[in-house]
Amino acid sequence: MEKIIEESKQGESLVLENKPENTKKLFIESYGCAMNFSDSEVVASILSDGGYNTTSVLEEADLVLVNTCSIRDKAEQTIRKRLEKYNAVKRTNPKMKVGVLGCMAERLKSQFLEEEKIVDLVVGPDAYKDLPNLLAEVEEGRDAINVILSKEETYGDISPVRLMSNGITALVSITRGCDNMCTFCVVPFTRGRERSREPQSIMNEIKDLWEKGFKEITLLGQNVDSYLWYGGGLKKDFVNASEMQKATAVDFDQLLEMVAVGFPKMRIRFSTSNPQDMHESILHVIAKYPNICKHIHLPVQSGSNRILKEMNRLHSREEYMALIDKIRAIVPDASISQDMIAGFPTETEEDHLDTMSLMEYVKYNFGYMYSYSERPGTLAGRKMKDDVEEETKARRLQEIVDLQQKHAWFRSEEFVGKTVEVLVEKVSKKSKDEFSGRNSQSITVVFPKENYKIGDFVNVKITSCTSGTLKGEAVGLSSMN
Q: Which of 19, 24, 11 is nearest to 135 (CA)?
A: 24
**Relative orientation angle of helices 390-413 and 349-362, to the nearest 10 degrees:** 10
**Chain centre to alpha carbon of residue 376:** 22
454/442 Cα distance (integer angstroms): 17
- Amino acid identity of residue 156, one-letter, is G
On whether 182 is known to bind a ligand per the annotation, the reply is yes
Q: Is 178 annotated as a binding residue?
A: yes
Q: Is 293 annotated as a binding residue?
A: no
- The CA angle 204-193-176, to the nearest 5 degrees, is 25
Contact 183, 312 (CB under 8 A): yes
Q: Is 465 annotated as a binding residue?
A: no
Compute CA 52 distance to the chain's CA centroid, rounded to the nearest angstrom.
Answer: 26
Question: How distant, in Å, are the alpha carbons of 151, 207, 275, 276, 416 from that of 41?
Answer: 21, 17, 29, 30, 38
Binding region: 33, 69, 103, 178, 182, 185
| Residues of each annotated binding site for [4Fe-4S] cluster | 33, 69, 103, 178, 182, 185
